[in-house]
Amino acid sequence: MLEGLWQLLFRRRRHGQDSGKTQTGPAKEQISSKLQVNYERIKAAFGNSPDLVLRYLEAGDQGKISALVVHIDGLCDKRLVSETVVEHITDINHKWDSPEQAYVDLRDRLLSVSGVSEVNSLGEFITHVASGDCGVLVDGITRGLACDTRAWEHRGVEEPTTESTIRGTKEGFVESLRTNTSLLRRRIRDPRLWIEELKIGRISKTSVAIVYISGVAEDKIVQEVRNRLRKIDVDSIQESGHLEEFIEDAPFSPFPTILRTERPDKVTGALLEGRVALLTDGTPFALIVPATFTMFITTPEDYYERYFIGSAIRLLRIASFFISLTLPSLYVAITTFHQEMLPTPLILSIAAQREGIPFPAVVEAVIMELIFEVLREAGVRLPRLVGPAVSIIGGLVLGEAAMRAGLASPAMVMVVAFTGIASFATPVFSLAIGVRLLRFLLIALAGSLGLFGVVAGMFALLIHQITLRSFGVPYLEPLAPVVFSDLKDALLRAPWWALNTRPKFVGEKEPTRQAPGLRPKPPSREEKEVHHLEGKEGGK
């Protein structure tokens, strides 16, 4: 019965898909040799949209050859269209005897934009126009030209709002795909940085870039990324989150298996390790695959500070992760089933605080956690200037009111508040929100089974993580399975001069990333003498 319901809810609509794949229209039509026919077809394809610009031109010295220029107002640079396309077509100094001669001359020599591509179908021509290119058709020719004149408005490069750091770059990705690829090119100035671009979405035709370093990234991982992207058959991809759900390994897991970021330095570090990045046009968030659990608890700042400072901060972040996951459930389990574990003065103090509370500890914890989550969500959705103030004031007022009304004890309010603060130390939102959901599960287990329920729940989560894979890479690598060479950059970070090799599962193709023996040390006596003699000779 459940299987039948599942198939009913999630079965593929084959009729709709087939109709999408076998549609007839501009996508399947060839370019006509008559400009008037092409004019009508293009105009019909865009539904007489007012931002569609179609302009007939007389080409050459005698005006015997006609051309049609097509572009979208607002998606291309009008000055570029006028100076590099229109002026060259209408120049009377060109003496063309045939449409073919005019077409070849325009394609190979005259159109002075940075990129000119030849298209053979009307659907491909229309796609280029809808993407911001300027299209050129010549009367009597069944091929077209697409000129790169894209220049739409977009946000400038700014500091990332979701991943701020004290030290490090202040640049973040934006909604323009080409700007994002240029940010990566600036950091990796090597021709082996390869970028493959796909169009995904039958209607949106969203550009998605696969970015990797050839010779460093594993071929099987790159091919797996290609295969998963090519299987996507949808109307639209609006954000990288849509893409993430279609290609992730464990869609029902609370733990993310794909890392998202808006920091180009973070993507650069992943590429240099041998990983693959996905950039989606229209969103500032990049996706990194394969992703392991340790990547979700590290920040770029760990690598910018000295290694013992970065390691200490990373350990603090890991401790905060476990506190945010287990503290409320441990409090509920101990105060409900295992009071003997606490010192007598402390348990008496907690008992006195709970006197008059009408709810058991588990219900009290759930209510306070829900209130905190509502405050956090409200703070996010409110305008940026008032959101933090509302969250802080609301938390203080509601916490004080709950204690005065006898609905929550001061100890519970403190536990929930400390748990919330600890959850903010998790640097990746997709992991932090999963922990917030798992917290309620552990509270329920603690309220019913005590510490045994908490331990059983943690073991279940551990087993689940061990079984997870991200594009074939174990999720808990290098902890399970243990990879000793990769432990240098897991829970702790070794000095940069000790990180000689790339991670085993993603960097086997080119395992060495720096020369050995780079540890700094003071010069020996012999080196001092040599330097002293060289200095004397240089003085002479």
Residues 58 and 138 in one domain: yes
Give 275-326 pLDDT, tens digit per residue. 999 999 999 999 999 999 999 999 998 999 999 999 999 999 999 999 999 9
H-helix segments, 188-254: 219-230, 240-247
User: H or E stretch including 67?
Assistant: strand 65-72
The answer to whether 302 and 313 are in contact (CB under 8 A) is yes
State the pLDDT confidence band at 515, using cuts at 50, 70 and 90: confident
Which stretches of 195-340 are DSSP H helices?
219-230, 240-247, 264-273, 301-304, 307-337
Contact assessment for residue 206 and residue 199, using Cβ atoms and an 8 Å cutoff: yes
Asked, for residue 164, whether it belongs to a domain, the answer is: no
Q: What is the pLDDT of residues 485-509, one digit of tens each?
A: 899 999 899 998 899 999 999 988 8
Spatial separation of the C-alpha atoms in residues 344 and 147, rounded to whole Å: 80
Q: Are residues 328 and 452 in the same domain?
A: yes
Q: What is the pLDDT of residue 20?
A: 37
Q: What are phi and psi of 476, to 5 degrees?
A: -95, 10
In a domain? residue 193: yes
Shared-domain flag, residues 325 and 460: yes
| pLDDT value, residue 144 | 92
Helices (H) and strands (E) in the chain, counts: 21, 12
Beta carbons within 10 angstroms of residue 253's beta carbon: 15
- The whole-number pLDDT of residue 431 equals 94
Same domain, 436 and 330: yes
- pLDDT greater than 80 at residue 476: yes
Q: What is the DSSP letter of 155?
A: P
CB 157 within 8 A of CB 126: no
Task: Evaluate whether residue 78 is within a structural domain.
Answer: yes
Rounded CA-CA distance 185/179 in Å is 10
Beta-strand relationship, 65-72 and 134-138: antiparallel
Asked if the structure places residue 88 within a domain, the reply is yes
Of the listed ranges 23-27, 73-77, 102-106, 402-406, the least confidently predicted one is: 23-27
What is the identity of the amino acid at 145? L
According to DSSP, the β-strands at 286-289 and 276-280 are antiparallel
| pLDDT for the residue 63 | 64
- For the segment 315-341, the average pLDDT, to the nearest whole number, is 94
Rounded CA-CA distance 35/138 in Å is 7
Assigned domain for 496 exists: no
Q: What are 115-157's pLDDT values in tens digits?
A: 888 998 998 999 999 988 999 999 999 999 998 888 877 788 8
Percent of the chain with pLDDT over 90: 50
Residue 62 confidence (pLDDT): 66
> What pLDDT, on a 0 to 100 scale, did the predictor assign at position 28?
65
Q: What pLDDT does residue 149 have?
A: 86
Q: Residue 113 in contact with residue 149, Cβ under 8 Å? A: yes
Instruction: Say yes or no to pLDDT of 169 above 90.
Output: no
Q: Domain check: are 138 and 187 in the same one? A: no
Are residues 366 and 456 both part of a single domain?
Answer: yes
- Whether 19 is in a domain gets the answer no
Could you read off the pLDDT of 208-245 as tens digits, one per residue? 999 999 999 999 999 999 999 999 999 999 999 999 99
**pLDDT on residue 535:** 63
Instruction: Work out the angle between the directed axes of helices 361-381 and 307-337 (0-180°, nearest 10).
Output: 140
Helix or strand holding residue 469 (H, E): strand 469-470
How many domains in the chain? 3
Write down the residue that tokens 């394809």 correspond to.
45
If you average pLDDT over residues 422-430, what whole number do you get? 91
Are residues 313 and 189 part of one domain? no
Residue 343, classed as helix, strand or coil, is coil
**Residue 346: HSE in the Cβ half-sphere, 13 Å Cα cutoff:** 9
Confidence (pLDDT) at 8:
47
Are residues 31 and 114 both part of a single domain?
Answer: yes
Q: Are residues 411 and 271 part of one domain?
A: no
Residue 318: which domain range? Answer: 305-474
Instruction: Work out the number of other CB atoms within 10 angstroms of the CB of residue 445.
Output: 23
The pLDDT score that the predictor gives to residue 284 is: 94
Is the bond preceding residue 290 a cis peptide, omega within 30 degrees?
yes
213 DSSP β-pair partners: 193
DSSP letter assigned to residue 514: S
Residues 132 and 248 in one domain: no
Report the pLDDT averaged over residues 398-414.
85
User: What is the average pLDDT value for the chain, to the nearest integer?
Assistant: 86
Predicted confidence at residue 527, as pLDDT, reads 66
pLDDT for res 296: 94
Rounded Cα distance between 500 and 274, Å, is 14
**CB of 442 closer than 8 Å to CB of 368:** no
Output the pLDDT for position 16. 40
- Per-residue pLDDT, averaged over 60-75, amounts to 83
- Is residue 212 domain-shared with residue 334, that is, in the same domain? no
- Is residue 371 domain-shared with residue 425, that is, in the same domain? yes
Average the pLDDT over 352-374 and give the result: 89
CA distance 393 to 373: 15
Please indicate, yes or no, if residue 22 is contained in any of the structural domains. Answer: no
Q: Is residue 156 part of a domain?
A: no
What's the rounded Cα separation, in Å, for the pair 18 and 12? 11
Answer with the one of 101, 129, 147 that is the final residue of a domain. Answer: 147
Last residue of a domain, one of 101, 127, 147: 147
Return the DSSP state at 157: P
Distance CA 506, CA 219 (A): 10
Residue-wise pLDDT tens digits, 101-110: 888 888 887 7
Of the three residues 147, 164, 186, the one that is the final residue of a domain is 147
What one-character DSSP code corresponds to residue 1?
-
pLDDT tens column, 184-215: 999 999 999 999 999 999 998 999 999 999 99
Burial of residue 387 (CB within 10 Å: 0-12, 13-18, 19+) is middle
The set of residues, in sequence order, having a beta carbon less than 8 Å from that of 321 and lying 6+ positions away, is 297, 422, 425, 426, 435
